[in-house]
Amino acid sequence: MSKLPAPGKKQPKPSLGNIKAVRLARGENQMQFWSRLGVTQSGGSRYEAGRGIPQPTGILAMLYLTGAIDDAALAKAKKAAKA
């Protein structure tokens, strides 16, 4: 399932509007967080700075952050997409 927040940090409610705060509460850098969603670090940085997140990426991010899909499912889908 989704990674728990770093010790001593309260995880904010997942939403695309506060995705940077969610990432930081999880103790992950941009590369760690965004790469599992198939997004580059620079793309994730732009999204966190306010650029609109494409709908498919936003849906995937929310499924992940709410625990509907986990790292294993994302890795499997990412591998299948490259085939």
Which of the 8 DSSP states describes residue 68? S
**Domain regions of the chain by residue span:** 16-82
pLDDT of 12 reads 81
Closest CA to 1 of 74, 60, 69: 69
pLDDT of 4 reads 52
Give the tens place of pLDDT for each residue, 4-19: 555 555 678 888 889 9
Give the tens place of pLDDT for each residue, 21-67: 999 999 999 999 999 999 999 999 999 999 999 999 999 999 999 99
CA gap 41, 32 in Å, rounded: 8
CA gap 54, 67 in Å, rounded: 20
Closest CA to 62 of 80, 72, 74: 74
Q: pTM value? A: 0.80
